[in-house]
């Protein structure tokens, strides 16, 4: 709308200014709406272009290669999970075993390792409800009665034994010598020569 048109209509200057101001404001609002719509259209066009590019890239991709890659990732995931579960199971078992033996004191480290190894070989089932290994108490009680020298009173001061010097000699033994060994000697032999011990133990 032009000023000359309004003047020709016989309107006063103030009226003309007011009409032109309102007209300019209306035009500004409509232009802002148009600009906003254009921005939205441009954004949508950009997204469409991006999607088209992704579709084209997918078309060019090797489906077999993608499947192989996914299989590799799945295998690695399964392997990592299995390793973690095995490690966690071992940690839990060792904590439960330590709790079972509690304040039990062994004569020496050789004896301790031997008894713990024997405990592991027994494969006692763990009862979640009672928080104990089934039948393990009976086994330990019988062991303490049959081989009391494998354990000591925790209040007793342990004796320090100085190993003899010189050539330890031939560590090999015969089957008869193995049979005549005491429980403590067998435990010591098991820790020093586990493979030979297993051979003799199997032959018994």
Q: How many Å apart are CA 201 and CA 204, to the nearest integer?
A: 5
Residues 16-42 pLDDT 10s: 778 777 777 777 788 888 888 888 888
Write down the domain spans for the chain.
3-60, 63-150
Q: Of 14 and 132, which is predicted with more confidence?
A: 132
* Whether 191 contacts 106, CB under 8 Å: no
Percent of the chain with pLDDT over 70: 87
What is the mean pLDDT of the segment spanning 154-160?
A: 48
Model-level pTM? Answer: 0.48
- Structure confidence at residue 168 (pLDDT): 41
Q: How many Å apart are CA 131 and CA 96, to the nearest integer?
A: 8
- Structure confidence at residue 3 (pLDDT): 73
Provide the CA 85 distance to its chain's centre, in angstroms. Answer: 7
Q: How many Å apart are CA 21 and CA 111, to the nearest integer?
A: 104
Count Cβ atoms below 10 Å from residue 183 Cβ, excluding itself: 16
Q: How far apart are the first and last CA of the chain?
A: 117
What is the mean pLDDT of the segment spanning 96-116?
A: 90
Reduced to 3 states (helix: H, G, I; strand: E, B; else coil), residue 202 is: helix
* Whether 83 contacts 77, CB under 8 Å: no
Reduced to 3 states (helix: H, G, I; strand: E, B; else coil), residue 166 is: coil
Reduced to 3 states (helix: H, G, I; strand: E, B; else coil), residue 151 is: strand
Q: Which of 178, 177, 182 is nearest to 200 (CA)?
A: 178
Q: How many Å apart are CA 156 and CA 149, to the nearest integer?
A: 13
Q: Quickly state the pLDDT bin for 188 (edges 50, 70, 90).
A: confident
What is the mean pLDDT of the segment spanning 191-202?
A: 81
Q: How many Å apart are CA 30 and CA 34, to the nearest integer?
A: 6
Q: Quickly state the pLDDT bin for 204 (edges 50, 70, 90).
A: low
Q: Quickly state the pLDDT bin for 157 (edges 50, 70, 90).
A: very low
Largest CA distance in the chain: 137
- Structure confidence at residue 155 (pLDDT): 55
DSSP state of 160: P
Residue with tokens 């996914």: 70
């Amino acid at each position: 709308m032009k000023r000359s048109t309004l003047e020709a209509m016989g309107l006063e200057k103030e009226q003309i200014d007011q009409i032109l101001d309102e007209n300019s404001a209306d035009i500004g609002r409509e232009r802002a709406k148009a600009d906003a719509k254009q921005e939205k259209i441009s954004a949508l066009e950009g997204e469409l272009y991006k999607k088209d590019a992704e579709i084209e890239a997918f078309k060019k991709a090797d489906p077999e290669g993608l499947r192989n890659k996914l299989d590799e990732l799945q295998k690695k995931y399964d392997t990592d999970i299995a390793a973690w579960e095995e490690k966690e199971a071992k940690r839990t078992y060792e904590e439960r075993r330590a709790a079972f033996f509690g304040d039990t004191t062994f004569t020496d480290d050789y004896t301790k390792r031997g008894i713990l190894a024997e405990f592991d070989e027994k494969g006692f089932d763990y009862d979640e409800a009672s928080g104990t290994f089934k039948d393990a108490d009976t086994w330990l009680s019988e062991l303490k009665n049959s081989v009391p020298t494998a354990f000591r009173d925790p209040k007793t001061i342990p004796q320090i034994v100085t190993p003899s010097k010189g050539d330890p000699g031939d560590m090999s033994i015969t089957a008869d010598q193995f049979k005549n060994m005491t429980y403590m000697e067998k435990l010591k032999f098991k820790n020093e020569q586990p493979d030979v011990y297993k051979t003799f133990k199997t032959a018994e």
